Copies of this chain bind each other. A is one copy, B any other.
Amino acid sequence: MHIDKDLVAASATPLVLAILAEGESYGYAILKRVRELSGGELEWTDGMIYPLLHRLPRLGYVTTEWRSPPEGRRRRYYAITDDGRAALAEQQRQWLTVTRALGDVWPGSGGLATAFGEA
């Protein structure tokens, strides 16, 4: 199965910000974390994630720097900022709003919105 394009687009930024909120990370690792979180159903390619990662510093949501560890390849690490955390919280609220609206009309789902943040 594969997830609808629009749904992938809508979840991309919040997912990455949420992963970075767990701790700083880098492109390749984020990619694998996303696969792991979705049980393999969200399959981004690296070509898809880098443009997103380049946008985040411009928006002020993350800081970034190269790291050259004693062993292994050099990596570009990203760390979330306060603005990034605020943006994450805002996106969280928007998802709640939309999810609540969907839950109200969804057939056979007794108000899924309760699960989001107000349980």
Contact = CB atoms under 8 A, between A and B. Distances in A.
B6 A6 contact: yes
Given A11-B101, A109-B116, A114-B115, 13 more contacts: A3-B94, A10-B11, A11-B102, A15-B101, A21-B105, A34-B101, A38-B98, A38-B100, A42-B101, A88-B107, A92-B109, A103-B115, A112-B116
A117 interface: yes
Contact of A11 (B98, B104, B107, B115): B98
Nearest to A7: B10
A119 interface: yes
Interface in A75-117: 88, 91-92, 94-95, 97-110, 112-117
Interface in A1-36: 3-4, 6-7, 9-15, 18-19, 21-22, 34
26 contacts: A4-B91, A4-B94, A6-B6, A6-B12, A7-B94, A7-B98, A9-B9, A9-B10, A10-B10, A11-B98, A11-B101, A14-B102, A18-B106, A37-B104, A37-B105, A39-B101, A42-B97, A42-B98, A88-B107, A92-B106, A92-B109, A109-B117, A110-B119, A112-B115, A112-B116, A112-B117
